[in-house]
Every structure is written in C-alpha cells, then in structure tokens.
Amino acid sequence: MSPHRLIPQDSDDKIFLTGATSHAKENGFVDGIHDQDSDKAIHENMYEPPIKATDDHLVEFSEAMRTVAKALRRAAEAKAAAQVEAAEWKRKYELERASNLRNSHEGATFEGSLCNSGEGRLNNSCDVTKVDNPSIEQSERCCRKHGICSHEILQDEATNTNYKFAGRKVTRKASFRLSWGCNGYNSGQQKHEVVSFERGDITTAERSSKQILLKWETHPQTVLILTKPNSNSVRILCAEMVRWLKNHKKIDVFVEPRVRTELSKEASCFEFVQTWENDEEIKHLHSKVDLVVTLGGDGTVLWAASLFKGPVPPLVPFSLGSLGFMTPFQSENYRDCLDMILKGPFSITLRHRLQCHVIREAAKDELDTEEPILVLNEVTIDRGMSSYLTFLECYCDSSFVTCVQGDGLILSTTSGSTAYSLAAGGSMVHPQVPGILFTPICPHSLSFRPLIFPEYVTLRVQVPFNSRGHAWASFDGKGRKQLAPGDALICSMATWPVPTACLVDSTNDFLRSIHEGLHWNLRKSQSFDGPRDG
C-alpha cells in the first residue's frame, strides 16, 4: 500500500508535502533529505494524534462568532424598527406642517383677525415670507445641541407668518430653551432617553432627578393676561399690571374680550390692549403669545389651559382665589415675580394633560370620533340622574382591566391628583410624574382600590349594552356628555403639556401646596413630658 492511500482526504497540507517531494525527485532536485527520511516523516505526521487544545479553541471561537452574529442581528432589527418609527413621525410631521400652511393661507383671506383699540378690528395678513433676523438665525443654529428649543416647534409657523397688531408688524415669538437642572442649576445638557443600556447594565437616565429650567433666547414681547371674573380686586390688579407691562417693560398685552371691555370703560389709556373675536383666532393664539399670566385660583389655570388645544406658552399663575395648588405666586409681589420670569432662567413644571375622545355606538370605526377634549385635572364618568349603579367596562390598551360598578370612575392626571381623585380615595402624586390615575367613585366592591397607569397607555371606558342606564362624562368639571350603551370614551396622554412657572422648584411648590392647601399631616405635637423608654 502506497503512502498516498493512507493519507486522509482532508489532510491537504500532508498531500501537498508528499506531492512536492515526488515532484522534486522527478526533476532531479536534491534538498538534503533522503527518500527514506521523507517517508518516515510522512508516516510520523500521518499517525500523530490530534491536538485537543486546538479543537477547544475552535469551539470557543465559533461560540464567540455566534454571539457576535446574534448581537448584529438584534442591532439590525432595532435599526429597522427605529427607521419605521422615524418614517411614521416624519409622516405625521408633514401632515401637521401641511395643515399649518393650509390654515395660514386661509387666514390670509380672513378680515378682522384681531380687535384693535381704535379701529375695533384689524386686517390679518398671512403672507408667507422669511424673517431676516441674524439673532434668530444664530439661535436656530444652536438648536438640538443642549436642550429642547422652541424653534423646533415654532419655526415652520412663526417664520412664515407676519401678523399686524396695533397698526404695526409684530416680530417673531420669543424663543426659549428647556434644559435639566439640579437644585436650580443648569446641567448643560438634555437627556432624551428614560433608561439607558450600556455594557449589560440597565440604568435610569439622569432626568429622573433633575428640575426642568426654561431660559429665554430672545426677550418676550407679548403677554396674555387671563383673570377670574366678577372680582373687584382682580380687576384692579389687572389694570395695574397691564399699565406696568406696557409702560415699564414695553410689552404688548392680550386680554379676553370681556376684560378689554372693562378696561376700555375704566379709562381711554387702555386702547392699546389687544384681544380676539372668535374661536378661529383662539386656535392661533399660541403663535402670538410668549407668556400667559393668570390672576385667580386653580379654576383660572384650568380655563387658561382649555384655551390652547395645541402648544401652550409658559404660564405664570398668581394666587387670587380660594384654592392654590397650582398658583404659587403671590399677587402682592407681581412686579418682582414678573421681573424674574421675564429675565429667566426659571424652573417650570410640565403638567401633563389627557386627550379624550368620545366614540358613539353608531360610528363606523374608531377613527370616527367627536372633537378631542383636553383636560388638565380629570375626566369623570358618573351615573348622573340615574338611580342605578354605573356599569362600565375598562380596558388598558388591548388588556381587560375590570368592570366598574358604583357611582362612577375618575381618570386623572397627576396634577389633578389633589382634586376630585383625592376626595374619592386616590393617592397624591407629584405633578411631574407621568402617569394616569384610575380612581373608582364609591365602588360596590370594597376590594376595588385605585390604580396608577404609566403615561404611554391608552385607556378605554365603554358602557356595555346590558347596562341599566346611561353614563355621563364631564371634563375638568364642565362640558358634560351623555354616554349611551355602546358608547366609549378613550383617554391617552396628550402631546402638549402645560408648562407652569415655579416659585422655587417643582417639588418645593408641590409640598407647599399640600401643606398649606390641605393641611396635610397637621396635628398637635406629642407632649415631651410623657412616659419614656427606660
């Protein structure tokens, strides 16, 4: 048997060696190795046992390559999902931008957009032009670096629209930037993610322990003042504040039509005050106002939030009512407070709102809904005038939650946790905690305790067909709607929160409100001269 037949088929290196030796002998080359020595070397290499250590290294290497392949596949899947999500957001952005452009063109033919002091009405020209302002261009270039800038939201509408107020052109809305700070100091960067994943460890982002700060990039130029009605003290303070803002701060002032009529009757010097005339002008109010000032209680803050169906300008609430959970500023010091706000930076609380849709049983699909309603406190579903218990079926996304039998149900924001939800047995929650409170009203079951859902879920409350009576839904205590069997109410977190200015910071203002407004955990101290441990 020749040596070539004993060599395995996969020993390519040995075949090459044998063939090379034979080829050398055929051509007469002598390299110092005799034929017998060559055959002996071949047999030794051929019958040498395999090295086990090499096999172990190959197995380990193949496992490592398999792990890398899994990681690459997961990264590709995540990238594909992110691209799909980005495409969806881009599509929504394009639709919203097209809607804004269409509304601006419609507003170009709209006569009498705002009420002027001397003429009564003004022409609103919405020519699509570009604002040539080096300071604005410079501020736009700094966007998306260290915070959330207002240019990202307002640049499409504000740069393409010129409004005429009081016989002159009003410049672009004041821009601002949001950043995360700690103990009143700016951290210098914005954290977009809630959690982070690095080297196999999951950690929460830094923003969970930071206070949000607002810093003006351009000086505010327009202030909207909303007041509590039927109050002489509020009317006097409003007139004084309007005069001070105009004469000392050179700021344009907007008020409600009712307030403008009151100011015009009081003195002719208030002819510069501007207002609106219809609901169509209110829809574009956020693009004209830099700051909102409320004079009243929490009800005035709710009214101010209800005026804005989209973005809400920063809101400065002054306490002039009986309830002050959301009004930390005192009216006696309004000049110092507004000086601090106009100068900036200042802390804000992003108060989340709920977006509610009513779907009737006769609707063709869930897209066929009534106009959405935004609430800052809560939406309440109760039995109204009926003597029967409310019967409701509740779902969270696609999961069944429970059936509610009792007086009703409250779906509340965390800002509204100290309102109706608290009276019904719900928990008090910090207003910047993003969540939806699920609180029953006098449930028929004693084991029915309140829940708190995360902010990203969608809640569906439906009146079943076998319900004995109708239900009624009210939104921040008003706008009641009847829900017949088969009707449903869908609630989710709204896109646009209500940014309210803080006197100190969000936590300090919240604790002060529950201490002063609710007298939380207020009791007489225990006597020190009683029994003690030995």
Average confidence score pLDDT of the chain: 77
**What is the token pair recorded at 180?**
């995360």
476 noted as active-site residue: no
Say what the pTM is.
0.67
What pLDDT, on a 0 to 100 scale, did the predictor assign at position 247? 92
Q: How confident is the model at residue 527 (pLDDT cuts 50, 70, 90)?
A: confident
d(CA 260, CA 156): 31
Alpha carbon distances (Å) from 136 to 173, 218, 299:
10, 8, 36
pLDDT per residue over 126-148, tens digit each? 333 333 444 444 444 444 444 45
pLDDT band at 206 (very low <50, low <70, confident <90, very high): low
Beta pairing partners, 178:
148, 214
Instruction: Tell me the C-alpha distance between 216 and 89, whole Å.
Output: 28
Q: What tokens were used for 334? A: 């309004």
**Euclidean distance between CA atoms 123 and 102, whole angstroms:** 18
Average pLDDT, integer, range 222-245: 93
Beta-bridge partner residues of 176? 216
What pLDDT shows up at residue 512?
94
Can you give the pLDDT at residue 37? 59
pLDDT higher at 162 or 258: 258
**Structural domains of the chain in order of their starting residue, each with its CATH number:** 62-100+172-183+193-351+497-521 (3.40.50.10330), 354-493 (2.60.200.30)
pLDDT digits (tens, 9 = 90+) for 442-487: 999 999 999 999 999 999 999 999 998 899 999 999 999 999 999 9
pLDDT digits (tens, 9 = 90+) for 364-389: 666 667 789 999 999 999 998 888 99
Active-site residue, from 12, 31, 55, 298: 298
Higher per-residue confidence, 364 vs 427: 427
For residue 474, the Cα-to-chain-centroid distance in whole angstroms is 24
pLDDT in tens, 84-94: 777 777 777 77
Angle, nearest 10°, between helix axes 232-248 and 257-266?
Answer: 80
Q: What is the pLDDT of residues 50-101, one digit of tens each?
A: 555 567 778 778 878 877 777 777 777 777 777 777 777 777 777 777 777 7
Residue 27 contacts by C-beta under 8 Å, 6 or more apart in sequence?
none
What six digits make up the tokens of 103? Answer: 């509304």
DSSP H helical segments within 312-389, as ranges?
A: 334-343
Closest CA to 45 of 55, 35, 37: 37
The C-alpha R_g of the chain, in whole angstroms, comes to 35
* Separation CA 422–CA 420 (nearest Å): 5
Do the beta carbons of residue 40 and residue 18 sit within 8 Å?
A: no
Cβ atoms of 410 and 437 within 8 Å: the answer is yes
